[in-house]
Amino acid sequence: MATQRTPRTDPLTLEVVELIGTVVARYHEEYEEAAAEHALTGAQAKLLSLLTLEPLPMRRLAQKLRCEPSNVTGIVDRLEARGLVERRPDPEDRRVKLAAVTEEGRRVARGLRDALDFAREPLAGLSHEERLSLRALLLRMLAA
């Protein structure tokens, strides 16, 4: 079966594409702002948030952040210098270092998440049914 091509010139499609671009832009701006309120860069905020779930090897962090492992060294260095993250040995493999949030790091991450929830609050304007529709539409988009 041949894959069907979307009509790129369809004005409605173009408008929706434009709107998605706007949502993406606003999402990013507010993410950066929220991070900056805690004196974090975007990359630092992402890494810190990842670690609130569980300690992770440096290598694993690089995969999650989609960057080279050498970069993670610096980001963790800076977070560690502020006492938000610490490096622990991995009992199972002495080559591995596990990055883990400290208590202070967890506090900052909590504040960050609250700010982000607020940033994402445009959803407030939608009813329960509308949220259901939006979920379905987003799922279909992502499945494409």
By CB under 7 A, residue 72 contacts DNA: yes
- State the nearest-atom distance from the C-beta of 31 to a second copy, in Å: 9
Is 134 within 8 Å of 126 (Cβ atoms)? Answer: yes
Residues that bind a second copy (CB under 8 A): 4-6, 8, 12-13, 15-17, 19-24, 26-29, 66, 117, 120-126, 128, 130-135, 137-144
The site partner of 13 among a second copy, DNA, none (C-beta below 5 to 8 Å per kind) is a second copy
Helices (H) and strands (E) in the chain, counts: 6, 3
DSSP tag of 102: -
> What is the rounded distance in angstroms from the CA atom of residue 66 to the CA atom of residue 35?
19
Nearer to DNA, 89 or 122 (CB): 89
By CB under 7 A, residue 8 contacts DNA: no
Q: Which residue has the tokens 């509308």?
A: 130
121 token code pair: 């609050």
Q: Is 96 exposed, middle or buried (0-12, 13-18, 19+ CB in 10 A)?
A: middle
List, edge to edge, every strand of the sheet that includes 85-89. 56-57, 97-101, 85-89
The site partner of 6 among DNA, a second copy, none (C-beta below 5 to 8 Å per kind) is a second copy
The residue within the footprint of DNA, chosen from 94, 125, 139, 140 (CB under 7 A), is 94
By CB under 7 A, residue 26 contacts DNA: no
- State the nearest-atom distance from the C-beta of 78 to a second copy, in Å: 22
- State the nearest-atom distance from the C-beta of 82 to DNA, in Å: 9
Residues at the site binding DNA, with contacts judged by CB under 7 A? 41-44, 57-60, 65-78, 87, 90, 93-98
